[in-house]
Structure 1
Amino acid sequence: MDAHAAGPLAGLRILDLTRFLPGPLATQQLADLGAEVTKVEEPAGDPARRMGPGRGPVSEVFLAIHHGKRFATLDLKAAQGRDALLAMARNADALVEGFRPGTMAKRGLGWETLHAANPRLVLCSISGYGQSGPWARRAGHDINYLALSGALHQNAGRDGMPVLPGLPVADALGAQAAATALLAALIEAGRTGRGRHVDVALADAPFAQHVLAQAEVRADGRAEAPGHGLLTGGAPCYGVYRCADGRHLAVGALEFKFWTALCEALRRPDLAACHWSQGMAPGGADSLRVRGELERIFLSRDMDAWAALLEPCDCCITPVLRMEEAMAHPYHAARVRVPASVSSPPRPMPPAP
């Protein structure tokens, strides 16, 4: 049986007009759950086809977020292409687009036109700063959305210099928000027979999810300084430590039981009382002293030696893996399908209907 046909979203038909990462990532999640996703590209194609690594004519990034999708080429600036898309929309459940606000309407494919053609259709518009508001017309990328959300400021060491995460967090959270909102609107359309226009702003996603720092502001008037909070490096029980070989360990012993287990494994039971739950303030002088003690301890062995010793202790310790190591790790092999390569090309683009 075909994997997509067996998925919980089998029979759901989605038109994907998005490009680059967030939109395709959102529709890929739906395709992985069985939805029939048709990627609609203009004649020049999605620029992401040539962005990123890959030995063939199509990048590995593009392949990773478009596997299992169907493809169609339409010139939406021409009447024939617009008519073809409207014909496809009449038989679709949802359409996802990622143009600047107002672009679809200028092309004669705005919400009113699509809704008239198919009242049940859900239109999901993904943009940087939303379809309305003071920044609706601005351009942006992941770094801008993280900066605006306050998250980038906190992703820093004690020197205060923000560090860019390797994962495009706003794009990933925005993709998840789009998939969730689209599915919610589809449930509503199934119940009422009427679709709706879903407005997803990538800048909204990291801000909405940054609830811990927002709670600090509401309680204390400001968030903890970078590198000094419980989850940002101020507590010795939660942080990254360098090992003798230059590799790193991630320590996540937030709960007292995990911290005491770690201290026992390190043969430093005297440090067990030095935990935030026992009154030691993150970012304070005592926390920095204990962090220094752990830094010296972890520098005495290689990462693999520490992992072998500590992982069986159930104290929330993991090695900081390189991506090639993560893709080969037994955990991911058991839980997630990680292909060695997705270098086979997408399904050929059929002619426009």
Structure 2
Amino acid sequence: MSAAAGPLAGLLVLDFSTLLPGPLATLILAEAGAEVVKVERPGTGDEMRGYQPPWGADSANFALLNRGKRSVALDLKDPAQRARLDPLIERADILVEQFRPGVMERLGLGPGQVMARNPRLIWCSITGYGQSGPKRDAAGHDLNYIGDAGLLSLGFGDAARPVVPPALIADIAGGAYPAVMNILMALHARQATGSGQRLDIAMTDNLFPFLYWAMGQGFATGRWPGNGDGLVTGGTPRYRLYPTADGRVLAAAPIEDRFWAVFCDIIGLEPQWRDDARDPAGTAARVAALVAARDADAWRAAIAGRDCCCSIVATVEEAMNDPHFAARGLFGHRLANAEGQQMPALPVPLAPALRGPPGIRPAPALGADNAAVLAP
């Protein structure tokens, strides 16, 4: 199945978003066969084009997030230029925007204004705090959203040296993924009703599913979890990161008793420490000492083929070269630029049958498709 013949083939997506949440959402739609037209400001375009590191004319980040899309450059504040979008708006199936609430209305492109002309349109807004509520106009980034939702409080490390999470959780799991999920459900509803919908995707709202266990504990017991004291945030010896002798890290997650017993045998934990309910801190300290006595290769060999839910934390480079992911075809799709360079395309959460066979596709140059897709 080629990308053009994917399950979303024939759908037109107008993408007014920038940076990460919206562009990742529309990348997923593009990889499933939709035609995505990226609407950018003249001159600079999407801010992500200028990020580091550069890869050809634009950044590697931009190329990874915008593979297979088309680009038009328009000054949306100019009524004449904005009018060139009219034919696209009238036949579009999906519109994705990421401005603060009210910006699209001021441009004459608000949902009420546009959906009056195209009532079948699925209009998707992605913002930090949503289209309503006291925080709707507040500026923020991922760190603010996960902080406001309480998620960050559960595991930020030593308060004297707090750790910033290594992933943009709100942007991806709170923004891009829910946007795609809701767009697909709205498209399904449109088949029955013939009408589009306005979708209000608030990244902070969508973080609360990550707090299911913390909510359960707090509401059921009145004792709310704190920094690093929960079952899956380091509050037990059975779910921790243990440094090895050579500066690598063992990810140990033998929560269940059957896995814990195997793990204890592998590391040689003495009987007095195996009942971790008696003295959790003491058990954790002894486990840490035993793990720290050997290097990562020794532990990798010791845990190989053993059911203990343990692994050596991989570097990004190691993960990219892992034979398992190669066997899965995860990096089979390719990204190209105008200079002839190639790299693996960004994997997206689509089943292979829905994404189509591997192929080489570029991200668009700024305004490359003005003549082809815009009215004169």
In structure 2, relative to structure 1, the CA distance for the partners of 1:67 and 1:237 (3 Å cut) is: same
CA RMSD of aligned residues (A): 2.0
In structure 1, the residue matched to 2:68 is 68
Residues 20 and 47 in structure 1, CA contact (< 8 A), matched pair in contact too: yes
Please tell me the residue identity of whatever aligns with 2:19: F
In structure 1, the residue matched to 2:324 is 331
Tell me the SS of whatever aligns to 1:95.
strand
In structure 2, the residue matched to 1:229 is 230
Please say which of residues 337-346 and 236-245 is displaced more in the overlay.
337-346
In structure 2, relative to structure 1, the CA distance for the partners of 1:244 and 1:343 (3 Å cut) is: farther
Shift, 1:33, TM fit: 2.1
In structure 2, the residue matched to 1:5 is 4
1:272, 1:341 → 2: CA distance? 50
In structure 1, the residue matched to 2:38 is 39
Shift, 1:159, TM fit: 4.9
Shift, 1:125, TM fit: 0.5
Shift, 1:121, TM fit: 0.4
In structure 1, the residue matched to 2:167 is 167
Residues 236 and 287 in structure 1, CA contact (< 8 A), matched pair in contact too: yes
The reply to whether residue 291 of structure 1 matches residue 284 of structure 2 is yes
In structure 2, relative to structure 1, the CA distance for the partners of 1:340 and 1:30 (3 Å cut) is: closer
Which sections of structure 2, spanning at least 5 residues, go unmatched?
339-362
In structure 1, the residue matched to 2:300 is 307
Tell me the SS of whatever aligns to 1:210.
helix
Spell out, residue by residue over 1:295-337, the C-alpha distance to the aligned partner (whole angstroms, 9 max, x if none). Answer: 1111121112212220310211121111111111122222353
Tell me the SS of whatever aligns to 1:200.
strand
1:259, 1:110 → 2: CA distance? 56
Tell me the SS of whatever aligns to 2:38.
strand
Spell out, residue by residue over 1:173-198, the C-alpha distance to the aligned partner (whole angstroms, 9 max, x if none). Answer: 12111111111111111211000110
1:170, 1:310 → 2: CA distance? 34
1:269, 1:192 → 2: CA distance? 66
In structure 2, relative to structure 1, the CA distance for the partners of 1:297 and 1:340 (3 Å cut) is: farther
In structure 2, the residue matched to 1:123 is 123
Please say which of residues 336-345 and 261-270 is displaced more in the overlay.
336-345
In structure 2, relative to structure 1, the CA distance for the partners of 1:336 and 1:65 (3 Å cut) is: farther
In structure 2, relative to structure 1, the CA distance for the partners of 1:269 and 1:86 (3 Å cut) is: farther
In structure 1, the residue matched to 2:360 is none
Shift, 1:206, TM fit: 1.5
Residues 52 and 59 in structure 2, CA contact (< 8 A), matched pair in contact too: yes
Shift, 1:344, TM fit: 1.3
2:135, 2:243 → 1: CA distance? 42
Tell me the SS of whatever aligns to 1:170.
helix
Q: Alignment identity in percent? A: 41
Q: 2:364 aligns with which of 335, 342, 347?
A: 347
Q: TM-score, normalised on structure 1?
A: 0.91
Please tell me the residue identity of whatever aligns with 1:22: P
Spell out, residue by residue over 1:8-55, the C-alpha distance to the aligned partner (whole angstroms, 9 max, x if none). Answer: 222222111100111101111222222221111121301110112124
Which sections of structure 1, spanning at least 5 residues, go unmatched?
none
